[in-house]
Structure 1
Amino acid sequence: MNNWPRLMVGEVCDSIVDCKNRTAPKEDFETPYKMIRTTNVRDGWVDTTNVNYVNRETYEKWTSRQIPIRDDVLLTREAPLGEVGKIRTDENLFLGQRIVSYRADRKKIDPDFLLYSFLCDDVQGQIRAFGSGSTVEHMRVPDAKLIKIAVPPLPIQKRIAGILSAYDDLIAVNERRIAILEEMARRVFEEWFIGTSDEMVASVDLIEFDPKEKLNKGKPIRFVPMSSISETHMTIGAVQRRASSSGAKFRNGDTLFARITPCTENGKTGHVMGFEHNEVVCGSTEFIVMRARSVPPAFVYCLARHSAFRKHAIQSMGGSDGRQRVKRNALEQFTLAKPDPLQLRKFDEFASPAFQQILQLAKQNTNLRATRDLLIPRLVSGEIDVSEAPKPVAAE
C-alpha cells in the first residue's frame, strides 16, 4: 500500500460544471452540434454517434457555462447514477440533462487517471452514498465536488493511466473492426437483395417469428436483458443467470428485434452468437425473435437492420403513450424481392465468416474489459505496482 494523499476532486480540477437542467430542442436532421445524453456515457467512453442534434443557437445557449472539450470526464448524476466517460473527440458537443463535467488541472492530475479513479469501486461507492435516500437515485451538484480520490505523483499517475489506456485502446480497435465487418455485410445485403422484382415475398415466407422453444426444467437459464442489446451493432453484452424461464426464447443464429418504444426507434437489435450448441436462452419479453427459414441467419439480421424494414416496424406501433409496441404481424407481412438461391449461398459464404470474426473480437473485448476492471482498483489505489500489471495482447 502507499501514503498517497486523498483529495476531493474539486481540489484537482480546473472546473466542475453541471449541465442545464432542461431539455434542449432537437432537430430532425444531422447538424454539427451534438447533445450528449446519459445513455451516451458508459464504461469510460462517451458515444458521439447515437446522439440528438441541435442548431447553432441552441448549442451556444447550452454551452454558455463551458464548452466540452477532449479529455473532459463526464459523470451521470441520475438515470443512471454513476456512469463515467471521457470525451475523446474534438466535435461540437454539449451536455444533456443530469451530467456533470470534470476538467482536470493537468498540473495536479492526469485526465486518464481521473477517469479510472471514477471507475474504481471506492469512488463508485461514494457516488452511490451521495445518491442514497432518494426515490430516484441522484447526486446533487455540490456533492459532485466532494468525491475523494487517491492522488499519487503525476509520473505515477501517467504510468497507471498508460497501462489502463492500452486496454481501452485495444478495445476501441476491436470495436472499429467489428463495425467495419458488420457494415460490409449490410452493404452487400442491400446491394444484392434490396429492390423491386417481378416476384415479391412476405418476410414470414423466409423467416419464422417468435419460434416455440422448450426448456429443461430445473437448470439455470441464461438471460439476455434489453440493456445488453446494442443500438448500433449486433454483439450482445452482459448475460445474466436466472432460475425463471419467462420471456422470449432463442438460440444461436436468431435475431432479436426490440419491439417497444424507444428501443425500436433507437435501433436495438442483436444477433445471437456464442452460446452452447442447441442451448435455449431467454430474454426480455420485449424481443421479437426472428429465425431463418430458407435464408442464412446473416440475411435475417441484415434485414432487421435495414432502414425500410425498421420504418415499416415503427409505423406499425400501437398502444398507450410511452408504451407503444411493434405488431409482429406487421413484420411478418413486410414484403421484399424474392432472393435468388445462388446469391443467398454466396452471401452466406461471405457473411458467416465475418460474423464469426465479430464474435471472436467481441469475446476478446469481454476478456480485455474484465482484466482492465480487475486492474483499475488495484492500480489507482497503489495496491499493486505498475510494473506488475499485465499488458494487453491484440487478437491475431
Structure 2
Amino acid sequence: MGEWKEYKLGELGTVVTGKTPSLKNPEDWGGDMFFVTPTDYRNYRKYVDGSERKLSDIGVKRLANKILPPYSVLVTCIGSDMGKVVITKDPCITNQQINSIIPNESVDPHFLYYTLINSYDVLRVMGGDGTAVPIVNKRDFENIKIEIPPLKEQKRIASILSSLDDKIDLLYQENKTLEAMAETLFRKWFIEDAKEEWEDGIIADLIDFNPHRKLSKGNKSPFLEMSNLNTSTYCPITWRDREFMSGTKFINGDALLARITPCLENGKTAYVDFLEEGQVGWGSTEFIVMRAKHGLHPFFSYIIAKYQDFRSFAESCMAGSSGRQRVDINNLMNYEIKIPEKKVIDIFNHSINYMVTKMHNNNNE
C-alpha cells in the first residue's frame, strides 16, 4: 500500500460555489442545463440525474464560470442538508448552497465522493452547529483536510466501494417496489373496496398520534434529523447517537411524518425499524409520531402517512405564519376513514408482514 498524505480540498481541484440567477431575468430559465439545489438531492443516490429547474442557453452563458463538468463532486454546505454529497454525470450549475470540487489529475472523483460522505460532523462543526442556519463558506471548505493514498490505490478502493453501491441500489429499488405493493394493497382493501356497512370513523380510531415515550435527559440514544428523512422510501438516510435534550421520541414500529413546511410537501416520512429491542430514539420536534392500533400491522401507519389524500388533508390542516406553517394535529386526527372489518385487517397484516420483513432484511444487508 502507498503512503497516505494529507491535503486541503483546495489542493485537490478547483472549488466552485454556485449561484442562482436573478428571478428578474426569466429568460435565464427553461432550457436543458441542470440547475441543482439541495432540494434535488432527495431524488439522488450517488449521481446527479436531473433537477427540478433547468437553465436556458442565456442563463448558462451568464453563469459560464459556474459550469461543472462531469465527475465533479458536489457538497451541500448550508442548512439542514449540510454534508450531503453527489457526483455529476453531465454538466450542471448549482445554487450558492453547494460548494463543488472539479478534481485535478491527482484524485479520483469516486474516491473523493466516498471520503466526503463521511465529512458530516466536520462540516457541522465548521458551519456553527446549533446556529439557526449553519454554513461553511468557500474559504473554509477549501481548507478542510483529508488524507488520500496514491491515485492507483484510490481507484482500487473506489472500485470496491462502487460495486457495493451497485448492490445497495438493487436492494433500494426492491424496497421501493415492495413499498408500492404495500400501498396498492392498502388502497385496494381499505379505500376502493371499503364496504358501505363498515363503520364511519376518523384516523384517530386507527392511529395513535404522538404516543407517550420515555427517555431521560442526558441518555445517549439514536438521533434522527429532519434532513435524514427520505422522500422515496421508508428507511432514513442515516442516524447517530446523541445525548437526549428535547425532541420527539419514538420506538420501532412508529411512523414519522414531517409537520412543517416545506418538509411535509416534499414528502419527508419514515418508518422506524432501526432501533435495538426496547430502545427509544429521538429527533426533531417537527416530527408527528404515528402508531397503528385497532389490531393493524405497525407499517399501516407509514402507509397512511404516505397516502396522498391523507397528505393533502394534512397540508390543509397547516396553520401559522407564511414559511413556518405546521400541521394542526387536532384537525389532522379528524381525517375521515372507514373502519375495516377484522377479517380484512387479518388478511392485510398477513400480506404486509412478508413485505416489511423483506424490506428490513434488505436494509440490514
TM-score greater than 0.5 by the shorter chain: yes
Amino acid at match of 1:173: L
Amino acid at match of 2:96: Q
Matched, 1:100 2:91: no
Q: CA deviation at 1:325?
A: 0.9
Amino acid at match of 1:86: V
Relative distance call for 1:297 and 1:142 in structure 2 (3 A) is closer
In structure 2, what is the equivalent of residue 248 of structure 1?
A: 248
In structure 2, what is the equivalent of residue 363 of structure 1?
A: 364
Residues 126-181 of structure 1: per-residue CA shift (max 9 Å, x gap): x789868xx86544446655666666543233112223333333333332232222
Relative distance call for 1:286 and 1:115 in structure 2 (3 A) is closer
Which structure 2 residues correspond to residues 30-49 of structure 1 after superposition, within 5 A?
A: 34-38=34-38, 40=40, 45-46=46-47
Amino acid at match of 2:264: T
Are the equivalent residues in 1 in contact too, given 2:48–2:88 (CA < 8 A)?
Answer: no
Aligned to 1:240, what secondary structure does the other structure show? Answer: strand
Are the equivalent residues in 1 in contact too, given 2:218–2:243 (CA < 8 A)?
Answer: no
Matched, 1:167 2:167: no
Aligned to 1:253, what secondary structure does the other structure show? Answer: coil
Residues 96-134 of structure 1: per-residue CA shift (max 9 Å, x gap): 2222332334x543221332444566x986x789868xx
Amino acid at match of 1:258: A
Residues 339-372 of structure 1: per-residue CA shift (max 9 Å, x gap): 34433322222222211222222233xxxxxxxx
Task: Write the distance in 1 (CA, Å) between the matches of 2:242 and 2:9.
Answer: 37
Q: CA deviation at 1:272?
A: 2.1
Relative distance call for 1:243 and 1:156 in structure 2 (3 A) is closer
Q: CA deviation at 1:209?
A: 1.9
Aligned to 1:194, what secondary structure does the other structure show? Answer: helix
Relative distance call for 1:258 and 1:76 in structure 2 (3 A) is closer
Relative distance call for 1:221 and 1:67 in structure 2 (3 A) is closer
Provide the TM-score with structure 1 as the length reference. Answer: 0.71
Which structure 2 residues correspond to residues 338-377 of structure 1 after superposition, within 5 A?
A: 338-364=339-365
Task: Write the distance in 1 (CA, Å) between the matches of 2:219 and 2:116.
Answer: 38
In structure 1, what is the equivalent of residue 286 of structure 2?
A: 286
Amino acid at match of 2:235: T
The number of aligned residues is 354
In structure 2, what is the equivalent of residue 190 of structure 1?
A: 187
Task: Write the distance in 1 (CA, Å) between the matches of 2:142 and 2:240.
Answer: 35
Amino acid at match of 1:165: S
Amino acid at match of 1:98: Q
Are the equivalent residues in 1 in contact too, given 2:31–2:57 (CA < 8 A)?
Answer: no
Task: Write the distance in 1 (CA, Å) between the matches of 2:127 and 2:62.
Answer: 25
Q: Which has the higher mean CA deviation after the structures are superposed, 256-265 or 38-47?
A: 38-47
Q: CA deviation at 1:23?
A: 6.9
In structure 2, what is the equivalent of residue 367 of structure 1?
A: none
Are the equivalent residues in 2 in contact too, given 1:20–1:62 (CA < 8 A)?
Answer: no
Relative distance call for 1:279 and 1:139 in structure 2 (3 A) is closer
Relative distance call for 1:62 and 1:268 in structure 2 (3 A) is farther
Relative distance call for 1:321 and 1:177 in structure 2 (3 A) is same
Q: Which has the higher mean CA deviation after the structures are superposed, 331-340 or 309-318?
A: 331-340
Q: CA deviation at 1:270?
A: 1.4
Task: Write the distance in 1 (CA, Å) between the matches of 2:213 and 2:76.
Answer: 40
Relative distance call for 1:330 and 1:129 in structure 2 (3 A) is closer
Which structure 2 residues correspond to residues 57-96 of structure 1 after superposition, within 5 A?
A: 60=60, 64-65=64-65, 67-79=67-79, 83=83, 85-87=85-87, 89-90=89-90, 93-96=92-95
Provide the TM-score with structure 2 as the length reference. Answer: 0.77
Larger relative CO (CA 8 A, sep 6+): 1 or 2? 1
Give the gaps of 5 or more residues in structure 2.
Answer: none
In structure 2, what is the equivalent of residue 113 of structure 1?
A: 111
Identity %: 33
Residues 288-327 of structure 1: per-residue CA shift (max 9 Å, x gap): 2222122322222111101111111011100123321101
Amino acid at match of 1:101: S
Amino acid at match of 1:18: T
Relative distance call for 1:53 and 1:227 in structure 2 (3 A) is same
Are the equivalent residues in 1 in contact too, given 2:255–2:289 (CA < 8 A)?
Answer: yes
Relative distance call for 1:116 and 1:252 in structure 2 (3 A) is closer
Residues 243-275 of structure 1: per-residue CA shift (max 9 Å, x gap): 55x443433222122212222122221112243
Relative distance call for 1:362 and 1:145 in structure 2 (3 A) is same
Are the equivalent residues in 2 in contact too, given 1:81–1:131 (CA < 8 A)?
Answer: no
Are the equivalent residues in 1 in contact too, given 2:78–2:134 (CA < 8 A)?
Answer: yes
Are the equivalent residues in 1 in contact too, given 2:223–2:239 (CA < 8 A)?
Answer: no
In structure 1, what is the equivalent of residue 18 of structure 2?
A: 19
In structure 2, what is the equivalent of residue 311 of structure 1?
A: 312
Relative distance call for 1:260 and 1:10 in structure 2 (3 A) is closer
Aligned to 1:65, what secondary structure does the other structure show? Answer: helix
Relative distance call for 1:55 and 1:342 in structure 2 (3 A) is farther
Are the equivalent residues in 2 in contact too, given 1:44–1:119 (CA < 8 A)?
Answer: no
Relative distance call for 1:82 and 1:217 in structure 2 (3 A) is closer
Are the equivalent residues in 2 in contact too, given 1:22–1:97 (CA < 8 A)?
Answer: no
Task: Write the distance in 2 (CA, Å) between the matches of 1:19 and 1:181.
Answer: 37
Amino acid at match of 2:210: D
